[in-house]
Amino acid sequence: MKEFIEGLPKAELHLHIEGTFEPELMFEIAQRNQIKIPYKSVEEIRTAYQFECLQDFLDIYYQGAGVLIKEQDFYDLTWAYLQQCADQNVRHTEIMFDPQTHTERGVAFETVIKGISRACNNAQEKLGVSSLLIMSYLRHLSEEAAFETLKQSLPFKDLITAVGLDSSEKGNPPSKFEKVFAASVEEGYIPLAHAGEEGDADYVWEALDVLKIKRIDHGNNCLQDEALVKEIVKRDLALTVCPLSNTALQVVKDLKDHPLKKMMALGLKATINSDDPAYFGGQVNQNYIDTQAALDLTKDEIFQLAKNSFQYSLLDTNRKEGLIAELEAYYK
Ligand code: ADE
Ligand code: ZN
């Protein structure tokens, strides 16, 4: 099964580039930028990664991202992740980045996007891994701040495919961002959002009806509401599920209790993703491997999850069909 998963062509649809920051690279970049971090060793960093909830994690995640200053830093971070993609047979990835985490510290939007995009272009050419970018608004900040980010993104519009919504969910409902999402869609960005990770089903409803999202990041708590599940199935929206993130942030107690199989049985289109792999103990293949073992998923179910990852990506039909054909040939 491990070998089957490792060789499986797949896409990753829920990944925060700042969440791929491995401690070794964090030390290296902190040192060259002469920024102090509150850890003496890689081991000390790893022990700090114990979380009781989303906010616990976010506090540490924003602190880690604070050492990224130069375009080369964003390039190195992204390139390291894309190399992992190639190693894991991730053929396509849709990368979220949080501009506000950086612009709030005085790093220019241009620095962030140029570093990330240069790595993406290089990966397409040298590794055969395709990617696209999702600019995510931080929901703990104001809608006005999100508008400022939207404005800053416009000169780089061609490099960005979609907008997302992430950070502290509870107390920051999707409706807070109604206007900036409408404006983002006007500019040609596809609307996506985290919903139902810690927030209840009514946040998922709002993400659907107010933000008009085309895919749901996490979505676990849609299971609280039967009518909502039916609506998601009817609209054919996929969920980007992140099993090891869910256990690390105690959204799910034990992987054996994970609702992935239930979601699939209800007709929901699920995909498996790593979210913030450097923090949650595993890259995308580890998410597949551990979830398969915990829920006793069949090869057919694994194949279906990988197929969903291509089917519900934001790629054009041509590339989607090509990747699905590659997957089907592998499965056969
Ligand atoms: N930012 C990075 N990872 C996140 C997550 N799992 N939920 C919300 N915001 C995030
Ligand atoms: Zn996420």
pLDDT of residue 83: 98
pLDDT of residue 37: 92
Ligand 1 pocket, mutate which of 51, 53, 58 (most atoms under 8 A from CB): 58
| Structure confidence by residue, pLDDT tens digits, 100-114 | 999 999 999 999 999
**CATH of range 2-331; options 3.20.20.140, 3.40.50.2300, 3.40.50.720, 3.40.190.10:** 3.20.20.140
Instruction: Categorize the per-residue pLDDT at 3 as very low, low, confident or very high, splitting at 50, 70 and 90.
Output: very high
| Pocket of ligand 1, beta carbon within 6 A | 16, 19, 54, 166-167, 194, 197, 245, 275-276
Q: What percent of the chain has pLDDT over 70?
A: 100
Q: Does residue 14 contact residue 217 with C-beta atoms inside 8 Å?
A: yes
Copy the structure tokens of residue 16: 């925060």
pLDDT of residue 200: 98
Distance, CA of 137 to CA of 182 (rounded, Å): 13
pLDDT of residue 138: 98
User: Comparing C-alpha atoms, which of 175, 229, 177, 234 is closest to residue 201?
Assistant: 229
| Structure confidence by residue, pLDDT tens digits, 125-143 | 999 999 999 999 999 999 9
Q: Cα of 163 to ligand 1 centre, how many Å?
A: 14
Burial class of 114 by CB neighbour count within 10 A (0 to 12, 13 to 18, 19+): middle
Tell which atom from ligand 1 comes closest to the C-alpha of 136.
1
User: Comparing C-alpha atoms, which of 224, 219, 210, 212 is closest to residue 241?
Assistant: 219
Distance, CA of 45 to CA of 186 (rounded, Å): 42
Ligand 1 pocket, mutate which of 12, 165, 167 (most atoms under 8 A from CB): 167
Residues listed for the chain: 332
User: Comparing C-alpha atoms, which of 31, 134, 119, 131 is closest to residue 77?
Assistant: 119
Q: Cα of 67 to ligand 2 centre, how many Å?
A: 21
Tell which atom from ligand 1 comes closest to the C-alpha of 16.
2
- Residue 6 to residues 67, 116, 124, 134, 244, Cα–Cα distance (Å): 32, 26, 20, 26, 17
3-class SS of residue 140: coil
Distance, CA of 222 to CA of 236 (rounded, Å): 14
Burial class of 80 by CB neighbour count within 10 A (0 to 12, 13 to 18, 19+): middle
Instruction: Categorize the per-residue pLDDT at 23 as very low, low, confident or very high, splitting at 50, 70 and 90.
Output: very high
Mean pLDDT (the chain, rounded): 98
Ligand 1, atom 10, residue with closest C-alpha:
167
Which residues lie closer than 8 Å to 246 by C-beta, 6 or more apart? 218, 220, 252, 258
Looking at the annotation, which residues are catalytic? 197
Instruction: Categorize the per-residue pLDDT at 77 as very low, low, confident or very high, splitting at 50, 70 and 90.
Output: very high
The stretch 172-191 carries a mean pLDDT of: 99
Q: Max alpha carbon distance in the chain (Å)?
A: 53
Tell which atom from ligand 1 comes closest to the C-alpha of 245.
6
Ligand 1, atom 8, residue with closest C-alpha:
167
Instruction: Categorize the per-residue pLDDT at 1 as very low, low, confident or very high, splitting at 50, 70 and 90.
Output: very high
Q: What percent of the chain has pLDDT over 90?
A: 99
Q: What angle do CA 41, 45, 48 make, to 5 degrees?
A: 140
Ligand 1 pocket, mutate which of 15, 16, 136, 274 (most atoms under 8 A from CB): 16
The model's pTM is 0.98
Tell which atom from ligand 1 comes closest to the C-alpha of 18.
2
pLDDT of residue 268: 98
Copy the structure tokens of residue 239: 């969920």
Ligand 1, atom 6, residue with closest C-alpha:
275
CA dihedral 134, 225, 242, 271 (to 10 degrees): -70
Q: Does residue 208 contact residue 235 with C-beta atoms inside 8 Å?
A: yes
Q: Cα of 206 to ligand 2 centre, how many Å?
A: 18
Other Cβ atoms less than 10 A from the Cβ of 315: the count is 19
pLDDT of residue 109: 98
Instruction: Categorize the per-residue pLDDT at 314 as very low, low, confident or very high, splitting at 50, 70 and 90.
Output: very high
User: Comparing C-alpha atoms, which of 120, 130, 134, 122 is closest to residue 162?
Assistant: 134
| Structure confidence by residue, pLDDT tens digits, 256-300 | 999 999 999 999 999 999 999 999 999 999 999 999 999 999 999
Instruction: Categorize the per-residue pLDDT at 80 as very low, low, confident or very high, splitting at 50, 70 and 90.
Output: very high
